[in-house]
Amino acid sequence: MIYTERLMRPIAHFSHAARIGNVVHVGATAGVYPNLRLAGESYGRIDVGAQIHKMFNNLETALGLIGATLSDVVRIKTYVAFPRDIEIYRPIYEQQFSSIRPAHTVVGSWDFPLPQAAIELDAVAVTGGGNITINSGGLQSLTGCAVAGVLADGFHYATALPVDGEGQTVARSCREQTAAALRNLHTMLAAAGLDPREICNIHITLRDIRERAEVGPVLEEFFGGRFPTCTVVGAPLERPDFSVSIESIAIKGGGESIDTPAAPLLPGRPAPAMLAGDVLFLSGQTGLSDDERRHFDVRGQTDAAWTRLHSLIEAAGFSNDTIIRTNNVLTDWRDYAGFNAGYGGNVSEPYVPRATVLGCLDVPSARVQIEGIAHRHGADATILQVPPPAG
């Protein structure tokens, strides 16, 4: 355990960061002071620029406390409450990462648990100095993103967008944009000496979740029916002309698919979990199965999602205290308290980092979706958190 009072006291069941070996997972990081006051000169006024600067300052603080630096960052995902603020975010991001090119994704979230927070991020860093930014002719770097991804600790991190070599959007339909993004991902993988069969995890963000059906056939063709873990969320994207954004994690040799009766592997569907060495990737799980559309309350759905996650972790031969991060999507912020009640009943201290955002899910009655990563030695992780209150 590493304790700090330089970062905000978590408002729910999470810590700021977890480290396993050289890999650091940083959870939701906002532009906030330890006393929960958002950055900015005036109370009651949302100062987006100040929040962005403080957010990166907090990221650097968290990394430094756990033995890493900004130059070790290999993946950043930034969530904005108002897409118009991306124009403010871009130059500040470029200043912070002028010589670093992590895999970089920008998406929307309709608000955050902390009132008036305008932006937050989560990140992955790998220490040791062996990270390699891959370059490939014909691909365009956007907003400081690694052109063809980053190789770090054996894994390849990439963000694929539906653009051509000039950075222009290549098509209008979601199906065509998905195909274009996957072509770019194929080029990225090839530049790193990998192929689609070695992808372990993808996360797809759609501008309109109703277009989910258009994406399925394109993915099936790309993966040849052998899907990795996959999570799909509906949310605003980095540019208004984008229909899709795809994040990918791959490793030489790929991974082994894991499923259970509680989380079965279905034809034409993503692997519920994929084991790659000591790392277990967990597809986003809702509290509803494909043949079950009952309207459980959010706590019941959270419990059911965790039942699936725990079954997959155990099927991989891991213990339940080996999870090292989660990313959570709610469809209604009014469910936040019920979600936390269910979440807290399925995890134990020391809590691992997490991010919780608002998005759309492709099952209309689903109110929560949880994806995660576990590690065989996750119980031995170093955790960065705020000390418990005195008394």
The model's pLDDT over 214-245, given as tens digits with 9 standing for 90+, comes to 999 999 999 988 899 999 999 999 999 999 99
Is the pLDDT score of 344 beyond 60? yes
User: Residue 281 corresponds to which amino acid?
Assistant: F
CA 253 to CA 37: how far, in whole Å? 46
Taken in order 274, 278, 284, 289, the sign of the CA dihedral is positive
Res. 390 pLDDT band, cuts 50 70 90: confident
Res. 145 pLDDT band, cuts 50 70 90: low
pLDDT at 391: 62
Res. 138 pLDDT band, cuts 50 70 90: low
- Give the mean model confidence (pLDDT) for residues 18-45: 92
pLDDT at 288: 79
For every residue of 231-296, DSSP letters joined together read: EEEE--BSSTT--EEEEEEEETT--EEE--SSS---TTS--SEEEETTEEEEEEEES--TT-----
CA 242 to CA 244: how far, in whole Å? 6
Q: Which residue has tokens 């050289």?
A: 22
Q: What is the mean pLDDT of the chain?
A: 92
Closest to 175 in 3D by CA, of 204, 137, 133? 204
pLDDT tens, position by position, 37-57? 999 977 778 999 999 999 999
Contact at 8 Å (CB) between 123 and 68?
no
Task: Answer with the residue of higher pLDDT: 342 or 388.
Answer: 342
pLDDT at 289: 59
- Give the mean model confidence (pLDDT) for residues 313-323: 96
Res. 290 pLDDT band, cuts 50 70 90: low
Share of the chain above pLDDT 70, in %: 95
The CATH T-level fold of domain 2-385 is: 60s Ribosomal Protein L30; Chain: A; (3.30.1330)
Is the pLDDT score of 111 beyond 90? no
- Give the mean model confidence (pLDDT) for residues 293-317: 90
Share of the chain above pLDDT 90, in %: 80
pLDDT tens, position by position, 57-105? 999 999 999 999 999 999 999 999 999 999 999 999 999 987 778 999 9
CA 213 to CA 182: how far, in whole Å? 16
- Give the mean model confidence (pLDDT) for residues 331-337: 95
pLDDT at 137: 57
- Give the mean model confidence (pLDDT) for residues 184-198: 93
Is the pLDDT score of 142 beyond 60? no
Task: Write the CB contacts of 52 (distance below 8 Å, at least 6 apart in sequence).
Answer: 31, 88, 89, 92, 93, 119
